[in-house]
Amino acid sequence: MAKTQTPADRIAELRQRIDDANYRYYVLDDPAIPDAEFDRLLRELQSLEAEHPDLVTPDSPTQRVGIAPSGTFAEVRHAIPMLSLGNAFTDEEVADFERRIEEKLGRRAPKFSVEPKLDGLAISLRYENGRFVQGATRGDGATGEDVTANLRTIKAIPLQLRGTGWPAVLEVRGEVYMPLEAFRKYNERAVKEGGKVLANPRNGAAGSLRQLDPRITAQRPLAFYAYAVGIVEGAELPPTHSQTLAKLREWGFPVSALNDVVAGAEGLLGYYSGIGKRRESLPFDIDGVVYKLDDYEGQREMGFVSRAPRWAIAHKFPAQEQSTV
Ligand SMILES: Cc1ccc2cc(C(N)=O)cc(O)c2n1
């Protein structure tokens, strides 16, 4: 610690450097400092906070792993239901989906926000004044389980939003998943040490997130991609989904670099075949791609049928042989 620096200043500086390193590593996928340096910073912060417990706050990177709370998960109602997506399996079904939108909106080749469909677990994260306050599983779309303590252990999920201009209340929806390489390494170690071997990355993510003890979740290699927003209070969002995703990236959320904006049925099918060709080499399991009409005005006009939106659809790939142990 520099001579002039107070413990509080040093703690603030360490937190900033650790948060920046996490952001670079988990969100930008562009690590800035070597792991050993990161561990040293975290150890110094942990010992400083141990000496000054009054300076510890919930958004400190040392507070990601809590202790086992109660025996069950509380219920969380999703004020804005977490949607399920209709599925398309053929090019014709995609063409029909796009044509219905052209006809209803009276537009030619509307713009779509497109992305890979990760094979993980859908969750919703609530931020108040930029601080992560609650996270829940999708459940049945209307009610999920409160898994806040477990989500806090995932370093790709910001405890405090970055940048500026975020709403007073912001709900971010996304997918928790287990990267394939991390899944394999975890299982190799589990086999060697007699730990729990995970059947496949998707079940690994779901099982890890629904552990009653966050210390177990903290040992599981979980990642996260944001893909939508729910409640937004106290600020206007941009007029399109793709611009909102760019804002989420600015505020500290990982957003897939494979996302794109395309026009019309041709653009959709071109994206689908492009991702299809890369599927085997992606670092995570996907089971299709997601097409969303990009402008929110058009989404409102299209509305929903039962719980699935008319303005979005998942175009699925043929089932892939499961990643075996
Ligand atoms: C509205 C909605 C619902 C489920 C989703 C699921 C995924 C996914 N599994 O990656 C991506 C999305 O953009 C989604 N969007």
Q: Splitting the chain (325 residues) into consecutive groups of 10 residues, what average pLDDT does each group show?
A: 85 93 86 89 93 91 78 92 93 97 96 97 97 96 95 96 96 98 95 92 94 92 97 95 97 96 98 98 97 97 86 91 57
Quick check: is 3 catalytic?
no
> By three-state DSSP, how is residue 203 classified?
helix
What's the confidence (pLDDT) of residue 27? 83
What's the confidence (pLDDT) of residue 322? 61
C-alpha 4 to ligand 1 mean position (Å): 50
Ligand 1 atom with minimal separation from the 118 CA: 10
C-alpha 117 to ligand 1 mean position (Å): 6
Report which residue type is found at 33. Answer: I
Cβ-contact 161, 88 below 8 angstroms: no
ipTM of predicted complex: 0.97
Give Rg (Cα) of the chain: 21
C-alpha 49 to ligand 1 mean position (Å): 39
What's the confidence (pLDDT) of residue 1? 63
What's the confidence (pLDDT) of residue 325? 46
Q: Which of 261, 135, 142, 310 is nearest to 209 (CA)?
A: 135
Which of 104, 111, 117, 247 does the annotation list as catalytic? 117
Chain Cα centroid distance, residue 2: 37
Ligand 1 atom with minimal separation from the 227 CA: 13
CB atoms within 10 A of CB 320: 12
Q: What is the DSSP string of 247-307?
A: HHHHTT----TT-EEEEHHHHHHHHHHHHHHHGGGSSS-EEEEEEEESBHHHHHHH-EETT
- Residue 255, CA distances (Å) to 136, 144, 222, 227, 258 in order: 19, 23, 15, 7, 9
Q: Which residues line ligand 1 (CB under 6 A)?
A: 83, 85, 115, 117-118, 122, 175, 227-228, 290, 312
Residue recorded with tokens 């930008």: 28
CA-proximal residue: ligand 1, atom 13 (nearest): 227
Stated pTM of the model? 0.89
Contacts of 164 (CB under 8 A, 6+ apart): none
Q: Cα(200)–Cα(189) distance, rounded to whole angstroms?
A: 15
